[in-house]
Chain A
Amino acid sequence: MNANTGLSNELAFAQRDALMLRAREIEKTFTLHSQGGVRIAALAGVSLDVERGECVVLSGASGAGKSTLLRCMYGNYLTTSGTIAIRDDSVAARHVTLSHATPHEVIRLRRTTMGYVSQFLRAIPRVASIDLVSEPLISRGVDEDEARSRAASLLESLNVPRRLWGLAPATFSGGEQQRVNIARGLIAEHPLLLLDEPTASLDAENRQVVANLVVAARERGAAIVGIFHDEDTRDRVATRVIRLETPVAQTTTNMEYLQAC
């Protein structure tokens, strides 16, 4: 782990210019009200600092909460307890704590700071691939032609056939959809990247392309947290591997509910 882990968030973000993300004692428990209030513990006290130029790979068995942690970091899931702070030099404290952030602050951080590549593409329907990929740049104020030409070259390097660029990805193969997804996630060169198995549905050649892009982002100074099941890719991109353990007593079941079933 990094030095100075005991510092307060204020001091840590003020003193460590490279610090991009700081998670402390993250717990996440899902309560399924429609199923008798079953509680599923997904994360039980994860702490982690991530700096620029680092690629932290999350490992651990299925159910250890790797994707859940990434979603918490993106503000897509709420944490049950603990804090996740993201660098934001536009505010006096130089960071925003997600659990206290307003939706507007999270939207702003997603535009300026955090990029996320999900396991599966969940894009706005009926929008052409090239427009999906250029949109994050346009929303950051980049000129539309410039954005489209950068989108084109990224799609090109990801081997997405040119004939598909004008089409919405709904009918594409899993691998093609995933490469559109990756292009959309990487194009804005966000200083913090959260990558949830971006290479899962790709062949060896395209895994290699994605690994190169991730390494390039890291060398550019992005802080990266990712899940990569493929060992070659992991070895190539990781600067650090963190193992998550499946929380003990993962599920507490309401006995009355079971008896009622």
Chain B
Amino acid sequence: MMMASSNTPLLRARGLSKLYNGRGGCIGVDLDVYPGEVLCIVGESGSGKSTLLNALALRSPVNSGSLDYRTSEGEVLNLLTLSEQRRRLLSRTDWGFVHQNARDGLRSGVSAGANIGEPLMAVGARHYGRLRDAASDWMTRVELDPKRIDELPGAFSGGMQQRLQIARNLVTQPRLVFMDEPTAGLDVSVQARLLDLLRSLTSKLHLAAVIVTHDIGVARLLAHRLMVMKDGRVVESGLTDQVLDDPQHPYTQTLVASVLPA
């Protein structure tokens, strides 16, 4: 797999905590995401992995810690003190967020093409023909039939809606994409094709991604690095194959041992 040439992280969290009524959530998380790198956060339900993802993507406020982002101009932004306006701009231009449920990431009332074109309009694109070309191009890239460009999202199957959501997120060429269980809830065969697509897109586009999953197989296939969470804390992290083949923490050992061999 290609790795980033750059040695400076895009996103850096230190001691990041998000508590609900004084407990739960995620506690004291240190994390770096490098350009072009896929980082998977694994753990069971309630381990705090989605809470962490939402905190990193500025979708929910944190209680303490620091969170920095390095822009393509090399400027380091303190995300926690950034103005709401700057944050919104950042999430439109530099970031993507893929929800587990495609319905949460798509607008059901407008066509597939409009769903892909909208983020481009939000950053200033106006030319109808070019928007439509971009939408059609992205439908092809996520293996959707561009002839269906005028259909509503509801007309597509679950797996196709997820592809549409991915296209909507990648059309603005973000540097960093957050994904919350992107393949959960899909049929196994649909899951496999979506994983193949994600793997080839992240490597071709040199995209950095933080992916939350409870599925060790997804992590093994997509991630350069893994972080294992339990009870809101990171209990183990490292190179994907090392963590999965030689797990050190009791919880990681249980997690790996419960996967059926391929």
**A contact residues vs B (CB 8 Å cutoff):** 30-34, 71, 75-78, 103-104, 106-108, 111, 122, 124-126, 139
> Can you identify 9 A-B contacts, CB atoms within 8 angstroms?
A76-B242, A78-B246, A104-B7, A107-B3, A107-B224, A122-B262, A124-B199, A139-B1, A139-B2
| Bound complex: CA A77 to CA B238 (Å) | 11
B196 x A103 contact (CB < 8 A)? no
Q: Which residues of chain A have C-beta atoms less than 8 A from B249's C-beta?
A: 33
Within 8 A of A (CB), among B20-61: 34, 37
A-B CB proximity, top 7 nearest? A33-B250, A103-B239, A77-B246, A103-B225, A107-B3, A33-B253, A139-B2
B241 x A104 contact (CB < 8 A)? no
| CB of A16, distance to nearest CB on chain B (Å) | 28
Q: Which residues of chain A have C-beta atoms less than 8 A from B1's C-beta?
A: 107, 139
Q: Which residues of chain B have C-beta atoms less than 8 A from A34's C-beta?
A: 250, 253-254, 257
Which of B4, B245, B254 contacts A77, CB < 8 Å?
Answer: B245
Q: A-B pairs with CB below 8 Å: how many?
A: 53
- Known contacts A32-B253, A124-B221, A126-B192: does B3 contact A75 (CB below 8 Å)? no
* B239: nearest chain-A partner, CB-CB: A103
Q: Which residues of chain A have C-beta atoms less than 8 A from B140's C-beta?
A: none
Q: Which residues of chain A have C-beta atoms less than 8 A from B257's C-beta?
A: 34
| Bound complex: CA A103 to CA B34 (Å) | 11
B245 x A76 contact (CB < 8 A)? yes
Q: Which residues of chain B have C-beta atoms less than 8 A from A107's C-beta?
A: 1, 3, 224, 239
| Bound complex: CA A124 to CA B1 (Å) | 11
Q: Which residues of chain A have C-beta atoms less than 8 A from B64's C-beta?
A: none
Q: Which residues of chain B have C-beta atoms less than 8 A from A126's C-beta?
A: 192, 196
| CB of A257, distance to nearest CB on chain B (Å) | 13
The proximity string for B residues 8-28 relative to A, scoring 1 for CB distances below 8 Å and 0 otherwise, is: 000000000000000000000
| B78 CB–A CB distance under 8 Å | no
With A33-B254, A103-B238 known, 9 other A-B pairs at CB within 8 A are A32-B253, A34-B250, A34-B253, A71-B246, A75-B242, A76-B242, A104-B3, A107-B224, A126-B192
